[in-house]
Homo-oligomer: A and B are copies of this chain.
Amino acid sequence: MSPKLKTLHVDLGDKSYPIYIGAGLLSDKSYLDKHIHGKQVMIVTNTTVAPLYLQSVCELLDDYQVEITILPDGEQYKTLETVNTIFDALLGAKFDRSATLIALGGGVVGDMTGFAAASYQRGVNFIQIPTTLLSQVDSSVGGKTGVNHDLGKNMIGAFHQPKAVVIDINTLDTLEQREFSAGMAEVIKYGLLGNADFLQDLEANMSDLMNRDVPLIIDAVYRSCEDKARIVAEDEFEAGNRALLNLGHTFGHGIENTLGYGTYLHGEAVSVGMLMAAKLSELEGDLTATCVERVVQLLNQANLPCEINKEITEAQLFAAMSLDKKAIDGNIRLVLLRGLGDAYLSQDYSEDNLNQVVRDFIS
């Protein structure tokens, strides 16, 4: 095994699984081999990732009956209709309940492949090979799968854990810098919401991370997944503290919903959202101006946006935010900060303060 390999065991009882994180894992068949039990393997990927990594993955699978489904690339295709094309392929190839689905790509591919695996014959195995920084630190842990509906994001889906996640950091070589930054927003989120040590290390190393220093990236992905796994293990079905993972997301989804998907990348909207949460925390008297400034600095270093530089009104943003499914009984529940590395859930902040933050960010 590579000295650069880190393995994280996600502990979920009989649904536990390993996350392998390293450089060059896609040239070693053992990581997949251990977790495929039948003979039938369906690789699901998209038109962007297929030319880059599909052949490498196929070469790891010469002992199996391999079928391939290539989906169109983009959030707009994350629909029940697209998932149905995976079912068509599975049934067309007469795949049975011993089949394994492999998701090769970013979060959209992972979410749809996971949902197809959850639903095909009421559940078959799947393995994730996330190829973007965002999906490596986000979709690797949590078992959330699903698709969008015209009336809301991620409204249809299932909790379905993978049998393994194989993260080859080398796949980031082909990731655009803007996408890399967007993924880094989620990495920063883990530091901000519950890990002050990690946050300090990110502040110390952000410039090297942005230059794609491999050991530092492996460490950051590992620690992100570790933090998420700890939170998810305590709350698998999202009844309580798992909501802390939504730091920046209620604001972020509001921004995305208002501007339409694609204007900001998800991580970029989350970046602005995290800063809005920090500013609201400052107005609530929980966070010092110095702490907020540290957040701004770190987001800047990661080339992430700190303001909404688009046409958008307060009313639009509020309307979009209360559509967010984290809303309970009409009040907007937000993740706020008591300090850097210390988040909490609140429905109990001052509405005036919230209004002021929204005004400050859209003007």
Interface residues of A, Cβ cutoff 8 Å to B:
80, 84, 87-88, 91-92, 96-97, 118-123, 144-146, 149-152, 155-159, 237, 325, 327-328
Contacts and interface: CB of A to CB of B under 8 A. Distances in A.
Contact of A156 (B87, B96, B146, B159): B87
Given A97-B325, A144-B122, A325-B96, A91 B158 contact: no
- What 5 pairs across the A-B complex have the smallest Cβ distances? A91-B151, A122-B157, A119-B156, A122-B159, A122-B158
The secondary-structure label for the interface of chain A is mixed
A158 B152 CA distance: 22
B87 A158 contact: no
B152 A91 contact: yes
15 contacts: A80-B80, A87-B155, A87-B156, A91-B149, A91-B151, A91-B155, A118-B158, A119-B119, A119-B157, A121-B156, A121-B157, A121-B325, A122-B144, A122-B146, A123-B237
A95 to B, nearest CB: 10
Nearest to A97: B325
Contacts of A155: 87, 91, 120-121
A360 B326 CA distance: 61
A120 B156 CA distance: 5
Total identical chains:
2
A168 B240 CA distance: 37
Nearest to A323: B94
A168 to B, nearest CB: 28
A92 B159 CA distance: 23
A144 B155 CA distance: 21
A155 B80 CA distance: 15
Contacts of A120: 155-156
Given A80-B80, A88-B149, A96-B327, 10 more contacts: A88-B151, A91-B155, A92-B151, A119-B156, A120-B155, A120-B156, A121-B156, A121-B157, A122-B146, A123-B158
Nearest to A156: B119
A92 B144 CA distance: 23
A146 B123 CA distance: 11
A355 to B, nearest CB: 23
A120 B154 CA distance: 9
A237 B157 CA distance: 19
